[in-house]
Amino acid sequence: MKTLITTCCLILLVFSCAGWAHPQTATTPPTLITLENSARAASVDSVTRVRDPLPVVTHNNFSIDHRTRLTLFATNMDLLPGETVSAVTATARDSRSRNYSLKVEFLGKVPALDWLSQLIVRLPDELAQAGDVSVSVSLHGQTSNEVLVNIEVQTQPRTVTLAARRVINGHDNYVDATFSFELGMNGDVAEALTRNDWDLQFGNNPNIDTFNVSMVGDDRSRIQDIGALNWSDTFQVPILTPHPVPAIEPEVVTVVGHMYVVHTKDTETDLYALFRVEALDPGKSVTISWKSVQSPE
């Protein structure tokens, strides 16, 4: 169960457990703070103050992009006069030794503890479903220690039913025919959160039941039917290279028992998902089970 930790409590925990009672020297590399007797970062969601595991995408924040911001704590992170947060870089390394840049959005001192800094980084889409990653920061040519941060993994598929896209008595049921893997939701409630930017649509073709992924002007998304599969089967998620420029991806036919992979790619999103067709009422609705997955790229 996630533990809700206020910044104050976390700082006290770090101070008492880590034993740092004075500033580091200017020649010392940055040091990211860990929990006592652990390689795990003393970090929290910058808005909810919840510890990891944390998802890359969440609607429980203040940003319109729904991306999680992570607060890390460190020593020896002093900027020079006139420097901005752009002087700091942050990197995450996943289990396959692939490195990802984390955008550093804030660096400042913790109130009343001028030896301790807090920095806020934005989690990128490429880390979705990554599990444990090793995070480090660099400043003035010196790199910190690596600390572990756990990115939430969706272990079990979820189920949703989509209506076939129709206009009946002047009413367009578009929000019920579409789905956001990014936020795991659809319908009227989801429209404001998604800003009407969906990842999958069902039943837009009146002549045959199909799925499509091209719904906004900057879509470079791809979809592929990977055949009759169960979630318990062993298979590899294929790489779906996005279109080089915005383009309309061909529709794919809806087949019960088939698994599909979607690479959602547009200006703001770069995520992979799998879904399986569990039931089909031709021309009316489809029930799918779905799961966000780590990029195979």
Mean pLDDT by 10 residues, the chain (297 residues): 46 43 62 95 93 90 86 95 95 94 96 94 95 97 97 95 93 95 90 87 96 93 98 97 97 98 95 98 98 93
- 3-state SS class at 184: coil
- β-sheet bridge partners, residue 89: 138
- 132-to-42, 53, 158, 178, 182 alpha-carbon distances in Å: 14, 9, 23, 32, 20
Backbone conformation region of residue 169, classed left if phi is above 0, alpha if psi is from -120 to 50, else beta: left
Within 10 angstroms of residue 5's Cβ, the number of other Cβ atoms is 17
Q: Which residue in the block uniquely carries the two structure tokens 């009146």?
A: 206
Q: What is the DSSP string of 44-75?
A: EETTT-BPSSB-SB-SSSS-TT-B-EEEEEEE
| Predicted local confidence at residue 196, as pLDDT | 85
CB 115 within 8 Å of CB 155: no
Which domains, from first to last, does the chain contain? 7-151 (2.60.40), 158-293 (no CATH)
Give the predicted TM-score (pTM) of the model: 0.83
Within 10 angstroms of residue 296's Cβ, the number of other Cβ atoms is 12
